[in-house]
Amino acid sequence: MAQEGILLGMGNPLLDISSVVDDDFLNKYDIKLNNAILAEEKHLPLYDEMASKYNVEYIAGGATQNSIRVAQWMLQIPGATSYIGCIGKDKFGEEMKKNSKLAGVNVHYYEDESASTGTCAVCVVGGERSLVANLSAANCYKSEHLKKPENWALVEKAKYFYIAGFFLTVSPDSIQLVAEHAAANNKVFMMNLSAPFICEFFKDALEKVLPYMDYIFGNETEARTFSKVQGWETDDVEEIALKLSQWPKASEIRKRTAVITQGADPVVVAQDGKLKKFPVIVLPKDKLVDTNGAGDAFVGGFLSQLVQEKPIEECVRAGCYTSHVIIQRSGCTYPEKPEFN
């Protein structure tokens, strides 16, 4: 059984503004499907345009928060998971707090007085999604909040840590504090490549924390971008997964595991020089609602079994189950109870 506070996530809490859009909208704002970017000046009008032009849904999101909420849903033990990030003091922030508490996650948000709660436009075309994040308050997280006794207590209590690569753009010093704590106390530290731009433009920050990672997650596009940036001269996902798993480690207590998802193709797991592939649950195209949160949900399912010390096969099976559930619904949402045996 997973105990209270066993899993802690840290990241950018964002309110997803999700809608089915059209190709003209994507082209107008220079958005590519299956990508995730930070909003630039040219993207700022798109949030209002989406809200006025399309039938939008507001869903509590942010990559790490999605994964933590899914893990919490799978575990069904109130407070098994905790989450830290920064929101604004506004109605979206209040909505986020309410959502997270209902989900059973123990949230310790830093509330910024000067910035509004971050938002993420989720633009869906043909079931595929593209994300444009306006971090706003999420970008204001400070390690001083993490160091406060009531928040550091969450770090002390947790045995597993998960942080999406997106948080490298906000508070690398907070990540470093948790990574070093995990290494010193034989705890499990995990991150995600998260997006091609993290691999490209936050290369140094990513490389600094990679030695601390016991598990590294990503999808095939991110893995290939990482390979390209490293000059590995290979597009072979299996080879890249092996190389990621063999990157030098800060603590040799456990070998690193690299887990790469490939949409409808098998999940690749590299561990201790060995490769395993796991087929995903195939979904007929007409059942696909949207892929928003699919990767986050996979990680959430995976973590729900890992914190119970289940074998890697079970972790991947749970990840495939949760992503299968989420892609049949709008956004990273789920039914009341999981049906996972």
- Is residue 326 within 8 Å of 297, Cβ to Cβ? yes
96 membership: H or E segment, kind and range? helix 91-103
Identity of the amino acid at 235: D
Which residue shows structure tokens 């433009």? Answer: 201
* Phi/psi of residue 65, nearest 5 degrees: -60, -40
CA atoms within 13 A on the CB side of 141: 31
How do strand 119-125 and strand 257-262 relate by DSSP bridges? Answer: unpaired
- Is residue 122 within 8 Å of 131, Cβ to Cβ? yes
Q: Which of 112, 214, 290, 296 is catalytic?
A: 296
CA atoms within 13 A on the CB side of 230: 19
State how far the alpha carbon of 336 is from the alpha carbons of 70, 74, 76, 271, 339, in Å: 11, 10, 10, 34, 10
State how far the alpha carbon of 273 is from the alpha carbons of 54, 160, 231, 254, in Å: 49, 23, 20, 13
d(CA 190, CA 32): 28
Sequence-distant (≥ 6) Cβ neighbours of residue 49 within 8 angstroms:
25
Give, as one character, the DSSP assignment of residue 2: P
- Is residue 264 within 8 Å of 253, Cβ to Cβ? no
Tokens standing for residue 303:
């973590």
Is 296 annotated in the active site? yes
* Nearest C-alpha neighbor of 167 from the set 71, 60, 85: 85
Residues designated catalytic: 296
